[in-house]
Amino acid sequence: MDATPGTTPVPDAVPDPAPDPVPDADAAVVAGEAVPSDRVALDRDRILAAALAHIDEQGLAGLTMRRLGHRVGVEAMSLYRYVPGKEELLDGVVELLIGDLRMDPDVLHSPTHGWQDFLQRLAHGVRRVALAHPKAFPLVASRPPEAPWLRPPLRSLEWVDAFLSGLLEEGFSDEAAVAAYRSFTSFLLGTLLLEVSAHGADVGPLDVVDDHLADDVEASRHATVWRLRHDLAHDAAATEFEVALESLLERLTLVRSELG
């Protein structure tokens, strides 16, 4: 350890310990031993939870089936029995994140106390998911949604149907409910992706969403989403940008007058 007079000594760097060896199932079989996956209780939920924990700690880029197998103490090939591949694994992680929103006691599925309270609770619930898992949250934006006309972060049929139905109950027209959905999701996604990027998340480049993905059978079970699917699919990005910019300028006008 070297030190310059008048300075605090800096300890010499200690090399990282060598990683544990990858479980060798083939060698175990040849030796007549039980393979690691026979000794470890394994199911899809445990694998997805381990994947999310890995992303939380090390980021998405370092996630591989081999590393995930090592994390749960099994050979990588045993994971494919529960998740057919990495794409399905990432989709499952998104399911977990959406599940966190479903379990949030402050988030409501209908506007019990009015639509403003309903949207406030939903927005803060999504933000809590983002803050709890900042490195995983970009998956909510990049993975294909359950139908091509759904938008992140409200990208599940369940939540979009609850959102639209709730606003319709509060007197919104179809057109107004869809416009609110577009504005609300644009606001949430842009704001939260910026916020998680400040917490170390890699937000780009995001995966390209497959616009041709559609599961009409599942989507048709959610009546409000299905009825409004053509309105939801309409491209209004330019209008939304102008409306958001106009709103921002109006707010800045107020700030100018209040702080001038």
The pLDDT tens digits for 173-223 are 998 899 889 888 988 898 899 889 888 888 764 443 333 334 567 778 888
**Residue 237 pLDDT grade (very low, low, confident, very high; cuts 50, 70, 90):** low
The pLDDT tens digits for 99-140 are 999 899 999 999 999 999 999 899 999 999 999 999 999 999
Question: What pLDDT was estimated at residue 207?
Answer: 42
Question: What pLDDT was estimated at residue 214?
Answer: 44
At residue 252, φ and ψ (nearest 5 deg) are -65, -30
Measure Cα distances from 56 to 52, 61, 109, 139, 200 in Å.
6, 11, 28, 12, 10
Is 106-258 in the same CATH topology as 25-83? no
Average pLDDT over residues 33-39: 55
- Distant-in-sequence, close-in-space partners of 80: CB < 8 Å, separation ≥ 6: 65
Question: What pLDDT was estimated at residue 19?
Answer: 47
Q: At the topology level of CATH, where does 25-83 sit?
A: Arc Repressor Mutant, subunit A (1.10.10)
The correct CATH number of 106-258 out of 1.10.357.10, 1.10.12.10, 1.10.3720.10, 1.20.1560.10 is 1.10.357.10
Separation of alpha carbons 59 and 195, rounded Å? 16
Mean pLDDT of the chain: 79
User: Domain segments of the chain: what residues?
Assistant: 25-83, 106-258
Q: What is the pTM of this model?
A: 0.72
At residue 41, φ and ψ (nearest 5 deg) are -70, 120
60 pLDDT more than 80: yes
**Residue 4 pLDDT grade (very low, low, confident, very high; cuts 50, 70, 90):** very low
